């Protein structure tokens, strides 16, 4: 895959607000926008940026995890004509890979452009999950794991899974150092989210997010044994969209290459969902995916300017830092604690807050990551903008579904 058979670009990204606890306008007792409203806002937000709007789109694809349970709605491709009549009677699909559904939407669009079955694809990701109480939502989200194991798992299934990973990390390395790195990861997420008006933690004004997290000892009697609430991404409602296009497609929609990002390469890996991880302190599927995408592109981590990675929990952020080769096993926490992943660090990560700060609308997260990289590489991130140097011109997204099961990694550079 070192040289894709044709050039593929992304442009015209759009994110709705990530709605949920933490936003001032969020009120669980009042009626809120539904799945339809989020799809319309994000879809139209993309289409209004391109010449010809929906008429210029050849096909559409939506990443979504659990609308059938959260919203009692299936047959999601049928909602694209609701976004715009110009999408009616055109191909549309939906894809599902748990929290990795958004990146599956991206990869589906990339493959269509590579196959020349489409020149312009509307890729979207969405999830509306504040429709049920948290404990019931945790049960629905547990479908991202093997259900037979879920029966024996923690009531908060995925916090329990990653609590076990954190506990193994504490035991194998150093608990205090690990918790300092995890607290710094949380602080970075909040500081970055405060710069993006669409982020769920945009309104967070706590004067010391690091201290808040580090001083909050995990308590298995009220939550899980090795994570506190700050270590976890929140329940989020949001949708994101972006255009995936060929060179001819960019011309059709009137977007200059300098306002787009080129997809340099991608890799996809699946791990057996019915088997437990062989090593709790390693995200093996993520590590394998990273190795594959670097091998296929001929690039290295030293050439990446910024990464959007899947920090569903702070320990996942630490373990992905190690999977990227930025630190040895057990030293990812030190790498983060030293400020290396902050927006002015060696390798800025999750510059609009990531899953913990911006939000985690499960099926939409992968597309949100791509939108953020597009914004950063084209200078459209507003107050959250970081410096992209000529020596490190690439951006990267890593999206994970389940406990290191469905993984997609994509590398981008500014179009030229």
Whole-angstrom distance, CA of residue 290 vs CA of residue 292: 5
Residue 25 belongs to a domain: yes
C-alpha to C-alpha distances, 352 to 258, 414, 416, nearest whole angstrom: 22, 19, 25
Residue 139 belongs to a domain: no
Written as six digits, the tokens of 222 are 């009220």
Same domain assignment for residues 376 and 277: yes
Same domain assignment for residues 112 and 243: yes
Residue 292 belongs to a domain: yes
Residue 372 belongs to a domain: yes
Residue 134 is predicted with a pLDDT of: 83
Alpha-carbon dihedral angle through residues 194, 306, 283, 143, given to the nearest 10 degrees: 50
Residue 32 belongs to a domain: yes
Q: Which residues touch 233 (CB under 8 Å, ≥6 apart)?
A: 311, 312, 313, 354, 355, 356, 359, 360
Count Cβ neighbours within 10 Å for each residue of 157-193 and write b for 16 or more, e otherwise: bbbbbbbbbbbbbbeebbeebbbbbbbbbbbbbbbbb
Same domain assignment for residues 121 and 157: no
Same domain assignment for residues 310 and 367: yes
Whole-angstrom distance, CA of residue 243 vs CA of residue 120: 7
Same domain assignment for residues 58 and 112: yes
Whole-angstrom distance, CA of residue 280 vs CA of residue 127: 28
The total of structural domains in the chain comes to 2
Residue 218 is predicted with a pLDDT of: 97
Whole-angstrom distance, CA of residue 26 vs CA of residue 32: 8
DSSP string, 321-339: HHHTTSS-TT-HHHHHHTT
Count other Cβ atoms within 10 Å, centred on residue 252: 19
Whole-angstrom distance, CA of residue 381 vs CA of residue 301: 22
Q: Which residues touch 141 (CB under 8 Å, ≥6 apart)?
A: 66, 129, 157, 158, 362
Same domain assignment for residues 213 and 360: yes
Its domain, for residue 331, covers 145-232+264-414
Q: Is 411 helix (H, G, I), strand (E, B) or coil?
A: strand
Q: Which residues touch 114 (CB under 8 Å, ≥6 apart)?
A: 4, 5, 6, 8
Number of H helices, E strands in the chain: 15, 9
Count other Cβ atoms within 10 Å, centred on residue 115: 10
Residue 1 is predicted with a pLDDT of: 45
Whether the Cβ atoms of residue 413 and residue 393 lie closer than 8 Å to each other: yes
Written as six digits, the tokens of 322 are 């190690």
Same domain assignment for residues 224 and 95: no
Which contiguous run of DSSP H or E holds residue 355? helix 354-357
Residue 2 is predicted with a pLDDT of: 59
Q: Burial level of 258, CB count in 10 A (0-12/13-18/19+)?
A: exposed
pLDDT one-digit tens code per residue, 84-117: 999 999 999 999 999 999 999 999 999 999 999 9
Closest C-alpha among 97, 92, 253, 220 to residue 154: 220
Same domain assignment for residues 101 and 240: yes
Same domain assignment for residues 394 and 349: yes
pLDDT one-digit tens code per residue, 233-285: 999 999 999 999 999 999 999 999 999 999 999 999 999 999 999 999 999 99
Side-by-side strand order, sheet with 9-15:
92-95, 59-63, 120-128, 237-245, 9-15, 261-270, 406-414, 394-401, 304-309
Whole-angstrom distance, CA of residue 203 vs CA of residue 194: 7
Same domain assignment for residues 155 and 290: yes
Residue 373 is predicted with a pLDDT of: 98
Residue 129 belongs to a domain: yes
Same domain assignment for residues 75 and 118: yes
Which of the residues in the chain have pLDDT under 70?
1-2
Residue 138 belongs to a domain: no
Same domain assignment for residues 88 and 223: no
Residue 140 belongs to a domain: no
CA 67 to centroid of chain Cα atoms: 18
Report the CATH number that the domain containing residue 303 is assigned in CATH: 3.40.47.10
Paired strand residues for 304: 394
The label of the residue with tokens 């899953």 reads 355
Whether the Cβ atoms of residue 66 and residue 363 lie closer than 8 Å to each other: yes
**DSSP class of residue 175?**
H
> What predicted TM-score, i.e. pTM, was given to this entire model?
0.98
Alpha-carbon dihedral angle through residues 70, 73, 78, 81, given to the nearest 10 degrees: -60
């Amino acid at each position: 895959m070192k040289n894709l058979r044709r050039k593929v670009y992304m442009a015209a990204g759009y994110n709705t607000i990530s709605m949920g606890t933490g936003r001032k306008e969020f009120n669980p007792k009042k009626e809120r926008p539904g799945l339809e409203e989020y799809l319309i806002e994000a879809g139209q937000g993309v289409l209004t940026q391109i010449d010809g709007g929906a008429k210029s789109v050849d096909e559409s694809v939506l990443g979504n995890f659990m609308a059938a349970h959260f919203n009692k709605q299936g047959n999601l491709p049928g909602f694209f004509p609701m976004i715009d009549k110009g999408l009616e009677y055109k191909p549309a699909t939906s894809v599902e890979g748990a929290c990795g559904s958004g990146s599956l939407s991206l990869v589906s669009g990339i493959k269509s452009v590579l196959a020349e079955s489409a020149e312009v694809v509307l890729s979207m990701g969405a999830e509306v999950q504040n429709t049920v109480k948290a404990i019931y939502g945790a049960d629905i989200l547990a479908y991202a794991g093997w259900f037979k194991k879920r029966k024996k798992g923690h009531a908060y299934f995925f916090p329990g899974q990653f609590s076990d990973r954190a506990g193994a990390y504490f035991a194998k390395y150093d608990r205090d150092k690990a918790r300092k790195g995890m607290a710094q990861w949380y602080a970075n997420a909040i500081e970055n989210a405060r710069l993006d008006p669409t982020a769920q933690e945009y309104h967070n004004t706590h004067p010391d997010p690091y201290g808040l997290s580090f001083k909050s000892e995990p308590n298995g009697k009220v939550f899980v044994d090795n994570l506190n609430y700050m270590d976890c991404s929140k329940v989020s409602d949001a949708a994101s969209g972006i255009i995936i296009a060929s060179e001819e497609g960019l011309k059709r929609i009137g977007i200059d290459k300098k306002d787009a990002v080129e997809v340099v390469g991608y890799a996809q890996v699946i791990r057996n969902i019915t088997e437990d991880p062989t090593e709790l302190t390693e995200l093996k599927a993520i590590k394998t995916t990273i190795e594959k995408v670097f091998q296929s592109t001929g690039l290295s981590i030293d050439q990446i300017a910024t990464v959007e990675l899947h920090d569903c929990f702070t320990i996942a952020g630490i373990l992905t830092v190690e999977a990227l080769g930025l630190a040895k096993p057990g030293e990812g926490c030190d790498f983060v604690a030293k400020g290396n992943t902050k927006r002015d660090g060696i390798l800025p990560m999750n510059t609009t807050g990531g899953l913990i700060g911006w939000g985690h609308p499960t099926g939409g997260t992968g597309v949100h990551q791509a939108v953020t990289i597009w914004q950063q590489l084209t200078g459209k991130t507003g107050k959250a903008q970081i410096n992209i140097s000529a020596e490190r011109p690439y951006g990267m997204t890593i999206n994970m579904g389940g406990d290191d099961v469905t993984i997609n990694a994509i590398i981008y550079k500014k179009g030229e």
